[in-house]
Amino acid sequence: EVEKISWFKEARFGMFVHWGLYSILGGTYNGRTMPDTALANGKSWYAEWIQQRLEIPNNEYQALVEKFNPSRFNADEWIKEAKNAGMKYFVITAKHHDGFALWDSNVSNYDIAATPLRGRDILGELVDACKKYGLKYGFYYSHWQDWEHPNGAIPYWKPARKSRDFEKYWKEKSLPQVQELIERYDPDLLWFDTWDEEAKELITPARRDELIHLVRKLSSKCLINGRIAMHDPGNEIDFLEMMDNAYPKQLLDKPWQTPATMNHTWAWHSKDFNWKSSGQMLRYLVSNASKGGNYLLNIGPKPDGTLPPPAIRRLREMGAWMLTHGEA
């Protein structure tokens, strides 16, 4: 019997995608542009954080649903680029911290069905393309932070919402949406995300296990990453998730991966020109591979649905190297 983790241990290279309402803004709102540094003053300045960092009121940010209209989105083209780069799996933000679902969710109206794309099943199209090209696929799901649901967690520099009932969010949105993702798309992995002090309080071992057991009940193949509870992942997770752009120097005792950016930001930022060279990124890939780890390299597609040209160029350069050195 093949272990469910075996494909992951051999995969080495995957594509990560951050795409959602924040992509429409590309790092700028009302003439204000976010810094193009990943972390400044200990805070995330990533483009997908624009709602919080520029303090955009919920009603203004949520109005972006009317503008999410990626007319040039073509799932086949994205996944073909990943395949040609030598990537073996694909992970996309099904829901990031802003709370917006990139699929038609039954438990929330803050989703793709509220956009001009209603009727299109973006995640389904991507899943079909992954199957066509033989890539494994999974979803980033923000199980802890949710800036739309009145009871979801919000960033650490803000006081907790008054009389927040996290359990309500957990039962009403977080768990049901994870269930939907598994039942509709049968993912090979789920990418959960926690990191700070507040996560310790909210993602208790009991909630962590509740979520893990839900995934296990619904799927016999779906892998779970260590950031489901970075402070205390327990023994049931399938692989470790390094910090963003962090490359371990030693061997680790579980399968692992590094989530990495090509420039500073994850989501599209029109003024972030800090592109790493393909050579640099190949060195990270090889370094991780030599220690049994994977390299999950991120792209932030543009609001029209296309991949940024500097990202495409790097994927193709890396793919050219992979053609001759990628496989034994």
Position among 7, 156, 195, 321 found at the interface with ligand JFZ (CB under 6 A): 195
DSSP 8-class letter at 225? B
Helix (H, G, I), strand (E, B) or coil at 217: helix
Complete DSSP assignment for 72-106: T--HHHHHHHHHHTT--EEEEEEE-TT--BSS--S
Q: Which stretch binds ligand JFZ (CB under 6 A): 46-54, 164-172, 206-214, 315-323?
A: 46-54
Nearest approach in angstroms of CB 191 to ligand JFZ is 8
Residue nearest to ligand JFZ (CB): 195
Q: Which stretch binds ligand JFZ (CB under 6 A): 19-27, 41-49, 110-118, 165-173?
A: 41-49
The residue (of 108 and 258) whose beta carbon lies closer to ligand JFZ is 258
Residue 244 is a binding residue for ligand JFZ (CB under 6 A):
yes
Instruction: Determine which helix (DSSP H) or strand (DSSP E) holds 278, and give its type and residue range.
Output: helix 278-290
Instruction: Determine which helix (DSSP H) or strand (DSSP E) holds 22, and give its type and residue range.
Output: helix 21-25
Residue 105 is a binding residue for ligand JFZ (CB under 6 A):
no
Residue 156 is a binding residue for ligand JFZ (CB under 6 A):
no
Position among 8, 147, 266, 268 found at the interface with ligand JFZ (CB under 6 A): 266
Answer whether 124's CB lies under 8 Å from 185's CB: yes
The residue (of 198 and 244) whose beta carbon lies closer to ligand JFZ is 244
Count of residues engaged in binding ligand JFZ, rule: CB under 6 A: 10
Nearest approach in angstroms of CB 46 to ligand JFZ is 5
The residue (of 303 and 319) whose beta carbon lies closer to ligand JFZ is 303
Residue 209 is a binding residue for ligand JFZ (CB under 6 A):
no
Residue 272 is a binding residue for ligand JFZ (CB under 6 A):
no
Q: According to DSSP H, which parts of 38-196 are helical? A: 50-53, 58-62, 75-84, 122-133, 166-169, 175-185
The residue (of 16 and 78) whose beta carbon lies closer to ligand JFZ is 16
Instruction: Determine which helix (DSSP H) or strand (DSSP E) holds 313, and give its type and residue range.
Output: helix 309-325
Backbone φ and ψ of 114, nearest 5°? -90, 0
Backbone φ and ψ of 166, nearest 5°? -55, -35
Answer whether 90's CB lies under 8 Å from 14's CB: yes
Provide the binding-site residues for ligand JFZ, judged by CB under 6 A: 44, 46, 48-49, 193, 195, 243-244, 259, 266
